[in-house]
Structure formats: structure tokens, C-alpha cells
């Protein structure tokens, strides 16, 4: 469809179309569906995201099977209600949704992979925060997801969205970046500004390794989504303020791809290096899987 963000931005400007509208038309054409049918498919994704956030932030929340993650979204929610959060109520609201979603994922619940299960909390964290703080209606939220999808397709086709291939920069980094781009569009930014938001957000997380403790999508994955949601919101604000990425967005994506390829295997979702390779990380793995699960760290 489009090989680069530059092509997408130029097409959007020349035809006076948003990223979301371009993606909607693409889905209608490739799937042979009506606009209403395509919207309904995305509505299901939005509903799934909302259900996960609700499940993770109500009652006692959720806990993973291992018990090593869970119920932190509840703690964050209560903290945000009772204290003046250092990073602000709205930002912590985004963090709350991001953590809740990934806790539901770790607890084997149903989530919407955006773009992966490990990064599933970043976009809901941003989106539901904006709904709460800026009154987004359902139609705007659906279009937000289409816009993020359009950008995500280009990132995936030029780099990777898999931690096993490119580290967590490819997962949470991508989720954060496409959320930033979609947020800019939602609030009246230009296609160029969406491109800058994507570039800034992705630049901020370049080199982020994928080092899940015990090979499970729990530690540090849940908390990285909290950072991803905050990064996406900040990057969107920067772009809307007129700040530009000095490195073109497609070159940032290219850089992510090259960095990912150069990461050692121990830092690409193998659960061997990074935090997974610490004494505590190895002890957790041994406790979950037994003595035979111990790994020799790559030198």
C-alpha cells in the first residue's frame, strides 16, 4: 500500500485525507466490506480494550498465574484518587490503563494485541486517558485505532514489531509511536505532525531490549507499557506544539530495524540476558520452572 511514512504523509496531504480514513478505505477494499462492517470490526477491538482495562482496575484487579505480577493497576488507581500525582492525574490515568491491560494479559485474560500482547497496554492507556480527559466520543476512538493501525502497518513492513526480532523497542516502542501519531491526528494535527510524533516517540525508546524474566510477559513488560503510554502522550504534545524530529521518521524506523538486528540474542525475548539474567531474575525462573531451567548467560 505505502512503503514509507513519507509516501503516506504525501498522499494524505495531496488528497486531504486523514491516516484513519486512508486505512478505513484500505480495509474496505482488501476485505470487500462496507464501511459499517469495517467499523464494527474495529469496535470489537475497542470493546476488548475497554473490558481489559475495566477488569484490571475494578475490585481486587487481577493476578498472573505465577503471582509475580498483578493488582498494581489497583494500587495506581487508588494512589491517583488520594494523592496529587507527581506526573499529574491525567498521566497516571494513562499509566493505570496501560498496567491494567498488561496485567490482564499476564493473567491469561483477553486483550487486543496492539501490536503485540507484550505491548497491549500502551495504546489503551493513551486512548482511554484521552477519552476521560478530553471527552473523545466513540467515533473518534475508532478512528484513533484506524490511524494507529495505518502507521503500525508501515513500521511492521519496514522494521519489526516483535521482541524476538527487534527487542522491546519494536513492541512497546512501536505501540507508543503509533499511539502518538494517532493522538496528533485526533486533535487536529497535520499528517506531517503525526509523522514527527511517531519519530520522536520511537526515538525515545530506541535500543530498548526485550528481557522477560523467566521468559514470561510479566517482568518488566507490564511496567514498560506504563512508560510507553506516557512517552506517546508527551511526544504527541511536542508535535502539536510544533516541535519536529530532526531525523526523518522513515530513517528513525530504519534505525530501529538496524538496532534490533544488532541486539544480541540474549536481549531479544529469550529470557537470558538483561533483567532476566540478574540473580533475582534467575531465581524467579528457577522457582517457577525448577533447577533444570537455569541458563548460562551469553558472554
**Residue-wise pLDDT tens digits, 119-178:** 999 999 999 999 999 999 999 999 999 999 999 999 999 999 999 999 999 999 999 999
Residues 6+ apart with CB under 8 A from 195: 5, 6, 9, 181, 245, 249
Quick check: 200 pLDDT over 50?
yes
Taking only the tens place, the pLDDT of each residue in 219-270 is 999 999 999 999 999 999 999 999 999 999 999 999 999 999 999 999 999 9
Quick check: 196 pLDDT over 50?
yes
pLDDT at site 299: 36
Residues 6+ apart with CB under 8 A from 87: 230
Q: CB count, 10 Å around CB of 83?
A: 10
User: pTM score, two decimals?
Assistant: 0.95
d(CA 137, CA 140): 5
Confidence at 294, pLDDT banded by 50, 70, 90: low
pLDDT at site 298: 38
Quick check: 296 pLDDT over 60?
no
Taking only the tens place, the pLDDT of each residue in 25-81 is 999 999 999 999 999 999 999 999 999 999 999 999 999 999 999 999 999 999 999
- The C-alpha cell at 119 is 505491548
Which candidate, 103, 108, 98, 250, places its Cα nearest to that of 175?
98
Amino acid at each position: 500500500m505505502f512503503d514509507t511514512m513519507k509516501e503516506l504523509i504525501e498522499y494524505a496531504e495531496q488528497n486531504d485525507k486523514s491516516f484513519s480514513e486512508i486505512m478505513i478505505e484500505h480495509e474496505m477494499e482488501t476485505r470487500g466490506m462496507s464501511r459499517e462492517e469495517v467499523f464494527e470490526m474495529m469496535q470489537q477491538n475497542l470493546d476488548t480494550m475497554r473490558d481489559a482495562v475495566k477488569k484490571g482496575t475494578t475490585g481486587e484487579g487481577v493476578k498472573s498465574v505465577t503471582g509475580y505480577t498483578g493488582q498494581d493497576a489497583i494500587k495506581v488507581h487508588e494512589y491517583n484518587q488520594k494523592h496529587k500525582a507527581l506526573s499529574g492525574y491525567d498521566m497516571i490515568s494513562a499509566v493505570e490503563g496501560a498496567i491494567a491491560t498488561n496485567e490482564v494479559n499476564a493473567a491469561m485474560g483477553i486483550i487486543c494485541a496492539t501490536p503485540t500482547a507484550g505491548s497491549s497496554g500502551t495504546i489503551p492507556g493513551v486512548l482511554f486517558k484521552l477519552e476521560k480527559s478530553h471527552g473523545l466520543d466513540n467515533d473518534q476512538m475508532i478512528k484513533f485505532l484506524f490511524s494507529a493501525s495505518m502507521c503500525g502497518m508501515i513500521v511492521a513492513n519496514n522494521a519489526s514489531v516483535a521482541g524476538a526480532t527487534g527487542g522491546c523497542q519494536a513492541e512497546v516502542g512501536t505501540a507508543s509511536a503509533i499511539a502518538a501519531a494517532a493522538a496528533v491526528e485526533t486533535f487536529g494535527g497535520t499528517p506531517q505532525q503525526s509523522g514527527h510524533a511517531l519519530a520522536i516517540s520511537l526515538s525515545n525508546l530506541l535500543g530498548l531490549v526485550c528481557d522477560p524474566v523467566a521468559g514470561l510477559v510479566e517482568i518488566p513488560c507490564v511496567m514498560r507499557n506504563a512508560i510507553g503510554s506516557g512517552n506517546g502522550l508527551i511526544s504527541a504534545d511536542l508535535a502539536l506544539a510544533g516541535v519536529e524530529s530532526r531525523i526523518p521518521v522513515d530513517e528513525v524506523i530504519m534505525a530501529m530495524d538496524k538496532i534490533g538486528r544488532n541486539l544480541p540474542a540474549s536481549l531479544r525475548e529469550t529470557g537470558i540476558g538483561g533483567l532476566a539474567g540478574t540473580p533475582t531474575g534467575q531465581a524467579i525462573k528457577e522457582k517457577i520452572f525448577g533447577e533444570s531451567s537455569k541458563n548460562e548467560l551469553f558472554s
